[in-house]
Amino acid sequence: MFLLWIAWDGSTIVAAAVTQLSVANDEKTCTIVACGGVGLKRIAPLISTLEQFARTEGCIRTRICGRRGWSRALPGYAVKRVIIEKELA
């Protein structure tokens, strides 16, 4: 299942993301397969909304497929084969 997420400031779309839920070895993961928008400082805090969605859906981790720079911008994530992940509590 893929979902499109839109961040709207009331007049303009400021960010968008696409997530995918998957199950492997009985472990559910929410992968952010695409994310972009206006200004990283405005986008990074929105990731917590996606993490909460993943927890609600029973995911044990979130994963981001993207550039290494995301790991510097998002505390708690680590580079793993140019894929960054965060274990959800």
Task: Return per-residue pLDDT of the chain as tens, 89 residues.
Answer: 899 999 888 998 988 999 999 999 999 999 999 888 887 677 777 889 999 999 999 999 999 877 777 777 788 888 766 677 899 98
Tokens of 14: 């400021």
Domain extents for the chain? 2-67
pLDDT of residue 52: 95
pTM above 0.95, yes or no: no
CATH assignment, 2-67:
3.40.630.30
